Amino acid sequence: MPLPKPELGLVVNYAFVWASAGRHPPDDTGKSRPCLIVDLEDVDEAQTGGRLVKRVTYVPISHIAPQKGENAITIPTRVAVYLKLSEETSYLYTSYAVEDDWPFDLEKIPGSDDRFDYGLIPPKLFNAVVNDFKTYLQKRPQFVHRRGK
């Protein structure tokens, strides 16, 4: 199966780096985990000879409940089942985000030979995540980690 088309609300398997304001990014490529695409942008990068690059912003999904100072939205059980995530409670973190060029650091879903995505989340949940993400971003405009920088 080819790579999915990047789109808002798509959950993909991505090597996420836990970096944000106050948290230094690790040297490695990150841990492969489900991540939600919350923003897409076509960027004209000079070093590519004027070719447009698709820039994607990911927020991570984790089983670990948010700690003080972290923002996350609980994924409803029915959505987790639909996406075929584990049965443990999962959280969409809105206080951590990574920008990367598509499709760098995408990985196949564990146990799959050909899938890189879990599917789309419902629009109502997506809107709640994006609104929370935007609120956090307004308070901390530099918190999004840019891969490769």
Write down the pLDDT at residue 143. Answer: 81
Write down the pLDDT at residue 6. Answer: 97
Task: Please give the average per-residue pLDDT across 6-10, as a whole number.
Answer: 98
Q: DSSP state, 95?
A: S
Write down the pLDDT at residue 148. Answer: 59
- The predicted-structure confidence for 11-66, as pLDDT tens digits, reads as follows 999 999 876 545 554 455 578 999 999 999 999 877 767 788 999 999 999 999 99
Whether residue 106 has pLDDT greater than 90 = yes
Q: Which residue has the tokens 């499709």?
A: 103
Whether residue 139 has pLDDT greater than 70 = yes
Write down the pLDDT at residue 19. Answer: 62
Write down the pLDDT at residue 22. Answer: 53
Confidence of residue 144 (pLDDT cuts 50, 70, 90): confident
- The predicted-structure confidence for 61-97, as pLDDT tens digits, reads as follows 999 999 888 899 999 999 999 999 988 999 999 999 9
Give the residue with greater pLDDT, 147 vs 31. 31
Write down the pLDDT at residue 145. Answer: 78
Q: Alpha carbon of 1 to those of 4, 113, 118, 129, 138: distances in Å?
A: 8, 9, 13, 29, 38
Query: Whole-prediction pTM value?
Result: 0.90
Q: Which residue has the tokens 């980690």?
A: 145
Burial of 95 (0-12, 13-18, 19+ CB in 10 A): buried
